[in-house]
Structure formats: structure tokens, C-alpha cells
Amino acid sequence: MQSTQSDVKEYSYFAGNQWRKAADNQVFEVHEPYSGKLFARVAAGSRVDGRAQGMVRAHLRKPS
């Protein structure tokens, strides 16, 4: 469920030495445990993101 709070920080994930958004731009919401107030939105990585990261790693490991 997406909240409409606009002052909430949105976080990407770090892969391949870069900060990235999820491939499908999906996020999940993180709420404060005590108050239940929306704290942040975080990139919801999927299998597509995992595969892309695996390809980046394979490319970086290739000998020159």
C-alpha cells in the first residue's frame, strides 16, 4: 500500500558500484515500529535486478 506522504526519503540499492532504483521502479514502505508512521521507501529489488547484478559481477571478473 503506497502512502501519499511526500516528505518521506526514498532509498535506492547499491550494486555494481552505483546507486540504482529497482528495474520496475517498485518500492516498499518502511514504518517506524512504535508509531507506525511511514519512515522511508526502499527500492524493491526483483529477480531482474538480481540477474543484472550477476551480469555486472561477471563482467567485472573477466580478465583483461
What local confidence, expressed as pLDDT, does residue 53 receive?
64
Query: Is the pLDDT assigned to residue 57 strictly greater than 90?
Result: no
Percentage of residues in the chain having pLDDT higher than 70: 66
Q: Which residues contact residue 2 at a Cβ distance below 8 angstroms, ignoring those fewer than 6 apart?
A: 29
25 pLDDT more than 60: yes
Please name the residues in contact with 15: beta carbons below 8 A apart, sequence gap of 6 or more: 49, 52, 53, 56
**Domain boundaries in the chain?**
9-61
